[in-house]
Structure 1
Amino acid sequence: MGSNTSNDKVEKAPGAPAVAGSQTLLRGLDMLDKVIDGPVKLAELSARMELTRSTTHRLANALINRGFLTHLPRDGYQLGPKLIQLGFLAQSQADIVQISRPRIEELAAQTEDTVHLGRMDNDHALYLDKIPGRRRVDISSRIGDRQPLTSTGLGKAMLIDGTEAEWTRLFDMDQAEGAPKADRETWFERMRGYASAGHAYDLEENEDLIRCVAAPIRDVSGKIVAAISVSSAAQYMDDDRMAAMSADVRGTAEAISRDLGWAPGAKPARGRR
């Protein structure tokens, strides 16, 4: 195997753009992207990279030596064990509050309303961060508060992938523990709509005269790990504004999800209802 230094000459397939030796690292990273969907044989990988087979083979061998690729004799090249290790470390180092803060600050400035970040904690919604709005609206939530999942926007957003059996368990538990009284059929009908739309509302269910729009945050596997919400007084949150705001809230939640490694298409299928 040849050494891949900045002086290496990278051969290109006919018609392909010229590649300077200093771009070897970028080519190696590109190669990882080309095999992300599963094993790829040398001929196909060479075509995807727009490089000759000899250059593709040399780059692949360098990545194999470092553990970033593996080679299966009958199937071709695929991602290697080093990436599993790095992915685990990156996920363990991810601080969702720190990662989310710039995004939710921007959303708070854009909407002029209070933005919350929360995650699930023992069948409750745990508030992790709060960016106050510019309006003179008193919202009683505090960082560290634990609220019912089934009556808060944050909580319902974190439940949209759940089964109706799970919804039933949590709804009954919250009602028994003193959550604001809710009509079962109305709640389930709304949850089905939220699950289809990808966002959830709090229609003064958790706190009088306070409404919110919420959306889930996903990790690299597509699993919901947290949620954000925009909250304000009902006088500033009529139905039309909530509907118009939903895309922005989902967009911010999806941006945070991408920061955590999520990619569209990674969302797991919801359980049977």
Structure 2
Amino acid sequence: MAGGSAPGASLVDRTLDVLGAFDERHRRLTLTRLAARSGLTPPTTLRIVRRLLAAGALERTDDGSYVVGRRLWDIGLLAPVQTGLREVAAPFLQDLQAATRATVHLAERDGHRVLYLDRLSGVASVPVVSRVGSRLPMHATGVGKVLLAHAPADVQQRVLADLRPLTPYTIVTPGTLERQLERVRRDGFATTREELTLGACSVAVPVRDADGDVVAALGIVVPSLRRDRERLVAALSVAAAGITRLAR
């Protein structure tokens, strides 16, 4: 269950429970599933859903299920991190994509998951599951490992306690991941090899603020890192430094 407001909760609380039923693994929900995941009764869920449909916050698909509407996306773009960091980073992402012809990501930590702020698709046929606004596990992504390596201790402990396998190559042993995070802090970059999706590898570097704190991560997804890892790390590092300089 994703929601479940306390008895006597306000309409706002219940509406947030309905919206909170959606996540990266539950992008399309029937009314029954919405009610179950929000912890509300079907009649209450239906009343809220009708209001959200009328406002454009939800949309109904041809099969009768519901998806998040465009209006929520438009509102989300108004968040300060979207209008600040994304705008500063956009030219650097474009340059990286043009130089590498690979998919490029800008991401930040949202709790114990990775929030993708921007993505430019590459031309190579590499499976990429991220979307702008989506949240993915930290332990199986390059940008996630960078952010996890510099996250508070309680966040690291929570992630290390729930290392779920996503492919046969996902790191699920806490000690192994802890050693990788130490190398990320030492070397300044993180890598993955088919840990989120088969056929996709990634490399990522931190983006820092003026005080040197890690506020985001910049990453590239490619079919293999066997030959170009150093070149990609260098290109990412230059771009990250440029973002830091302009974001001050």
Taking structure 2 as the reference length, the TM-score comes to 0.60
Match of 1:204 among 174, 194, 212: 194
Paired with 2:144 and 2:220, the residues of 1 have a C-alpha distance of 13
Instruction: Give the alignment of 1:250-269 within 5 angstroms.
Output: 250-261=237-248
Q: Deviations over 1:198-245 (max 9, x none)?
A: 111122111112101101111122221111100022xxx233312332
Amino acid aligned to 2:126: V
Runs of 5+ consecutive residues of structure 1 not aligned to the other structure:
1-90, 262-273
Checking the alignment, whether the CA contact within 8 Å between 1:204 and 1:210 is kept in structure 2 is yes
**Structure 1 vs Structure 2 CA RMSD:** 2.5
CA shift in 2, pair 1:247/1:241, >3 Å? same
Instruction: Give the alignment of 1:89-238 within 5 angstroms.
Output: 95-162=84-151, 166-175=155-164, 180=170, 182-233=172-223, 237-238=224-225
Q: Deviations over 1:161-195 (max 9, x none)?
A: 346665333221344x9795522232222221111
Paired with 1:242 and 1:182, the residues of 2 have a C-alpha distance of 24
CA shift in 2, pair 1:165/1:124, >3 Å? closer
Paired with 2:82 and 2:134, the residues of 1 have a C-alpha distance of 24
Based on CA coordinates, which of the two structures has the bigger radius of gyration? 1
Percent of counterpart pairs with the same letter?
Answer: 27
CA shift in 2, pair 1:169/1:257, >3 Å? same
Amino acid aligned to 1:95: G
Runs of 5+ consecutive residues of structure 2 not aligned to the other structure:
1-79
Taking structure 1 as the reference length, the TM-score comes to 0.55
Paired with 2:211 and 2:205, the residues of 1 have a C-alpha distance of 17
Question: Displaced runs of 4+ in structure 1, greater than 6 A?
Answer: 91-94
